[in-house]
A and B are shown apart, each in its own frame.
Chain A
Amino acid sequence: MKKRMLYIVLFLILIMIIGYFCNEGAVDTDFAHKNIGPSFYYPFGTDWMGRNLFFRTLRGLSISLFIGIIASSISAFIALFIGMTAVFGGKKADAIVTWMIDFMMGLPHLLLLIVLSMAVGRELKGVILSIALTHWTSFARLIRSELFQLKEKNYIKIAEKLGKGKVYIFQKHMLVHLLPQFIVGWVLLFPHAILHESSMTFLGFGLSSEQPAIGILLSESMQYLVTGRWWPAVFPGLFLVIIVLLLYCLGKDLQKYISQK
């Protein structure tokens, strides 16, 4: 299992690096070779401007992963901060946090993203911000209940009785239990962030059409569906699913690994 986790991480890093260097190949147009189906030179075929869809897909995946890392990291720390506020900030803070979580869940996630993107704008910064600002809710809820449970544990109560400071108890006793949970939750935020990024971009609220993001590739592919050109729709989507599945497996493996320890 440890090996599998390592392979997944290496594979994802590889995709990111290769994708980074695919930029030129991804935007190069070649009208002599447009609308070619999958072949040896063009494994995923080419689009209406003769752009190599293999490079475009790789580039898109690396963009997705990049956005996913940043957005889910910000989101995870927001969740940590909010969860801790609820637990250590007294009853009122807890009530406010619970209410805030309910409030964030009052709208479907995607609609929330659409509304948010109106204020923070589109493009890279807007997408990252909108996703980061909306994905912390259930994770914060998890951290909150986890911390409350820890707080009720006997050894922590004893430590409190012994007059140890809050910060000391948190560092010495709670962090050890929380950290692994935090890492797992963080990794499991990843697939969500990536799925929502591609959805937003697909709808037109995310990255602009010059960027070869997966959402853009798929939304462009819609125009050629009727003509029977299937490859621009199938390959980018398929690889997005693979990446998301790998991230999900990574998170679940990590969870199992930590619970075994």
Chain B
Amino acid sequence: MAGYILKNSIRMFLLIIAVSIAAFLLMTYSPIDPLQTNVGQTALGIMSQEQIEKLETYWGSTLPPLTRYIQWAKDFFSGDMGISLLYRQPVSDIISQRLSNSIWILSAAWILSGVFGIILGMLAGIKEGTLLDHIIKSTAILFSSTPIFWFALLMLMLFSVWLKWFPIGLSVPIGVTAENVTITDRIYHGILPSFVLSIAAMPNIILHTREKMITVLESDYVLFAKAMGKSNQQIFIQHGMRNVLLPAITLQCASISEIFGGSILAEQVFSYPGLGQMAVTAGLGGDMPLLMAIVVITACFVCAGNLLADVLHHIIDPRMRFGKGNKI
């Protein structure tokens, strides 16, 4: 077991390194020169000579790209993520602040979409072919075909412009410094983004859980349970739920990537100052140091989710826990 986790952790670590190399190379070959963009030049003014030199070695010099990557990686993983060209602040400061803004709308969306997605999917699967099933299924398909940002726009229009229940943008009221933001403010501003994100992440889990529930209910072991005289309720609790929850939880762990992706759009629409909005700003402004940091942090979360999915599956499923070897 420990060996399995270790093996997979190493694999994930290598994957993160590979992602960072690829992202670095892509940015190196970008026609946008971070040192030449306007914002970059104003930023250069406040940087120390040493910082500018570093920036030049990473992004501007004629050294082979891989050598430059190694220099960047050395600094990055020792904690020096560089200075953001747009914000003229250390990247690590910006990331930690933005991540703390984002993390709770991400986790709220992750938990909400997981809980309600699994419940609705199970319900639709149990009631297969009924009106309820049709409603759940078609709504899920409708939402999976809806661009998140458009849905976010509609919600913004409905709740913020017409009903005026929620603010139109920014996670902090204007005129209040970041330190003075109360927890209620933060929750208040985060409700709509996390709602939109969880709705956007739900169709996938609903449709998968529904399919799985149907297969389980048509399985031989449920048939045998019926032959044993078990009631539908007993069958659901003893067999249905367990067999559906296992793949659903695994899927939900692997869906972290989707939620991070969706947060880019949702945060942009609600002008919520999180990691996702930062990615857009950094990308548009050619702020390489910042974008690289976002890429690596996001890759870490995604890989951790996948790792968790693998490990959980390994722990819960007896077919994985006890191999097929010892038959009698």
Contacts and interface: CB of A to CB of B under 8 A. Distances in A.
Interface in B276-300: 279-280, 283-284, 286, 291, 294-295, 298-299
Contact of A110 (B26, B156, B264): B264
A38 interface: no
A80 B63 CA distance: 37
A46 interface: no
A225 B153 contact: yes
B148 to A, nearest CB: 7
Interface stretch (B13-21, B42-50, B179-187): B13-21
A244 B145 contact: yes
Nearest to A228: B161
Given A199-B148, A204-B280, A115 B31 contact: no
Contact of A248 (B141, B168, B261, B283): B141
Nearest to B291: A115
A257 B168 CA distance: 47
Given A117-B283, A119-B27, A121-B31, A111 B298 contact: yes
A106 B19 contact: yes
B150 interface: yes
B145 A108 contact: no
A198 B161 contact: no
B19 A107 contact: yes
B145 A191 contact: yes
Contact of A111 (B156, B279, B303): B279
Interface residues of A, number: 39
Contacts of A111: 260-261, 264, 279, 294-295, 298
Contact of B26 (A102, A103, A106, A119): A119
Given A111-B298, A204-B280, A225-B153, A106 B15 contact: yes
Contacts, number: 130
B269 interface: yes
A93 B306 CA distance: 23
Interface string A185-223: 000000100010011001111000000000000100110
Contacts of A244: 145-146
Contacts of A86: none
Interface in A99-137: 102-103, 105-111, 114-119, 121
**Candidate in B27, B147, B157 with the most chain A CB atoms within 10 angstroms:** B147
A226 B168 contact: yes
A202 B265 contact: yes
B89 interface: no
B154 interface: yes
Contacts of A202: 147, 149, 265, 268
Contacts of A225: 153, 156-157, 161, 168
A233 interface: yes
B9 interface: no
Given A111-B294, A115-B23, A234 B261 contact: no
A14 interface: no
12 contacts: A106-B16, A107-B302, A109-B261, A110-B265, A111-B294, A115-B23, A117-B283, A118-B291, A198-B147, A218-B150, A225-B161, A241-B145
Interface of A: 102-103, 105-111, 114-119, 121, 191, 195, 198-199, 202-205, 218, 221-222, 225-226, 228, 230, 233-234, 237, 240-241, 244-245, 248
Given A106-B19, A204-B280, A225-B156, 9 more contacts: A105-B302, A110-B262, A118-B291, A119-B30, A195-B147, A204-B284, A225-B157, A240-B147, A241-B150
The 7 residue pairs across chains A and B that have the minimum distance between CB atoms: A108-B261, A237-B150, A119-B26, A244-B145, A110-B261, A118-B30, A114-B283
